[in-house]
Amino acid sequence: MTTQTIAQARSRSLWRIYALEARYEFLKQLRMPAYVVPSLAFPLVFYFMFGVALPHGSGGPFDIPTYMLATYGAFGVMNVSLFGFGVGVATERGQGWMLFKRASPMPPVAYFAAKLATILVFSLIMVSALFVLGATAGGVRLPAGTWFSLLGVLTLGTLPFAAFGLAVAYWAGPNSAVAVLNIIALPSAFGSGMWIPIQMLPPVIKKAALFLPPYHYAQLALHTLGLDHGEAVSLHVFALAAFTAGSLLLAWIGFRRDEGKTFG
């Protein structure tokens, strides 16, 4: 028995499973306009409208197109991650597809790794397009190293928000996940200074922002440009790490709870 099982385990390629799972996850999302359009087009359109097209010559102490490159980039990555992970998992849980996947010999990690890889690719595409728009229409000029560090910080943002999306997927129903995510994401994006620079928001919101994970994320992105609000980087990192850990814990509890449920 043991000999046979080991032989069987060897004759399928785990690497191939991970690669195919990721490839098909990406294709699946790419063919969904309801995901692709809001996650790719919205940050670009908003950035163009508020960061480039609006006149802001008299503006504050910083260059708006540069500043908003960081904040709309952060907003975009947050959306790609929250919706890509949260809505995807919530839907597949609700329809029983997750059940099929769990019963199959797929390594469970492959499912989540594929979703993470997919939102990473979407984030890279979205941020690259934003950079091109910034450098052309926005006239943004940055040292090469700064472009890369901004890109790096922005992409790392996939992790905390994917984790939170996952938690929502396990606690909101498949039909309400989109609504729940919108209700949470839109106001907190606003309150975190992702749409309008935090300096221009009322003091109450500025104080409250300290409790919003997107605020810490946006500040880290702004830090690469030297445009952050001034709190310690370690505070932002700690806040995001705690948020990620808390979300993963919630998701894990939800994942375990699924076992006790009846399906069909």
Partner 1 sequence: MTRTTPFDDDRPVAELRRAVKRYGAVTALAGMDFEVRPGEVVALLGPNGAGKTTAVQLLLGLARPNAGEARLFGLEPRRAEARMRTGAMLQISKVPETLKVREHIHLVSSYYPRPLPEREVIAAAGLEGIEGRLFGKLSGGQRQRVLFALALCGDPDLMFLDEPTVGLDVEARRAFWTVIAEKARQGRSVLLTTHYLEEADALADRIVMIGRGQVIAEGTPAEIKSRVVGRKIRCRTALPLATIAALPGVRDVRRQDELTEVFAAEAERTVFELLSRDPSLSALEVRGADLEEAFLTLTHSEDPEEVAA
**Which positions touch partner 1 (CB under 8 A)?**
1-5, 8-13, 16-17, 20-21, 24, 27-29, 31-32, 92, 95-97, 99-100, 102-107, 259-264
Choice between 75 and 255, CB closer to partner 1 = 255
Given CA atoms 250, 255, 257, 258 in this order, what sign does their dihedral have? Answer: positive
Choice between 56 and 101, CB closer to partner 1 = 101
CA distances from 246 to 55, 167, 219, 252 (A): 41, 9, 20, 10
> Least CB distance from residue 98 to partner 1, whole Å?
9
Q: What is the 3-state secondary structure (H, E, C) of 53-121?
A: HCCCCCCCCCCHHHHHHHHHHHHHHHHHHHHHHHHHHHHHHHCCHHHHHHHCCCCHHHHHHHHHHHHHH
> Least CB distance from residue 101 to partner 1, whole Å?
9
The number of CA neighbours under 13 Å toward the Cβ of 250 is: 19
Choice between 11 and 234, CB closer to partner 1 = 11
> Least CB distance from residue 117 to partner 1, whole Å?
14
> Least CB distance from residue 25 to partner 1, whole Å?
9
Choice between 20 and 53, CB closer to partner 1 = 20
